Structure 1
Amino acid sequence: MVVFGRISQALLRSSLTQSRQLSASAAHGHGEQAARTWKILSFVVAVPGVTVCMLNVYLKMQAHAAHHVEPEFVPYSHLRIRSKRFPWGDGNKSLFHNSEMNALPDGYEGRSE
């Protein structure tokens, strides 16, 4: 039992010494230097990385849209059922309706097929 007490006291002393050393190093400007390093890394690595990713997605979207062919509208009876009108607009379009991608029960808007 005495040995356990001595070991726990030694561990406690070492942890106190470590915490004092950490707080002392922070007082000498180590925290400021680390914050400056992360700020520089954010502007030099993160911002250009996000910019390159955004450019890549934009260019791929443009290439996809250039050769995108819309499928022919087929008025299947089980799709686009309107048993009750929507409570907004003309009652025929869903809340997140996209006139280029979503067809109405009688076809796409502004196109005659």
Structure 2
Amino acid sequence: MLGGHFGSLVRRMPQLTRGLASSANQPHAAHEAGMRMWRQLSIFVALPAVGLCMLNAYLGIRDHPHARPEFVPYEHMRIRSKRFPWGDGNKSLFHNPHMNALPDGYEEGDDHHHH
């Protein structure tokens, strides 16, 4: 289904763009052709691409639900040269204690999970 529509759209792309250029003296026709081309691109290219990205993200989170990187105290990471202007000054605004490490490590151990 998708391949057929996408293939025909790709095959017609030079005709569509040539049609847009040749109908420049007919603004209404060019506008109609442009709207038709962008509507088809949105339906048959953009929406399936968004759907595939959503599926990929869903399958990834399903297979590795709460995997987090091992804490390694690299000097160039999590530098605090100035306190944050909120809270205790050590946590970013959208701090997640499970996934975001502080300069001295994670706040909670691997055995502690929030659901």
Match of 1:88 among 86, 93, 96: 86
Return structure 1 stretches of 4+ with deviation > 4 angstroms: none
State the distance in 1 between where 2:99 and 2:83 align.
20
- Equivalent residue for 1:35? 31
Gaps of 5+ in 1: 1-21
* 1:14-93 equivalent positions in 2, closer than 5 A: 26=25, 30-68=26-64, 69-73=67-71, 76=73, 78=75, 79-82=77-80, 84-93=82-91
| Normalised TM-score (structure 2) | 0.53
State the distance in 2 between where 1:44 and 1:84 align.
51
- Equivalent residue for 1:104? 102
Gaps of 5+ in 2: 1-21, 111-115
C-alpha RMSD over aligned residues = 3.0
State the distance in 2 between where 1:77 and 1:31 align.
60
| Normalised TM-score (structure 1) | 0.54
Structure number, greater radius of gyration: 1
Structure 1 position 50, deviation (Å): 1.1
Structure 1 position 86, deviation (Å): 1.5
1:16-72 C-alpha deviation (Å, 9 max, x unpaired): xxxxxx9xx83xxx2211111111111122343111111111111111112223234
State the distance in 1 between where 2:32 and 2:50 align.
26
% of aligned pairs identical? 38
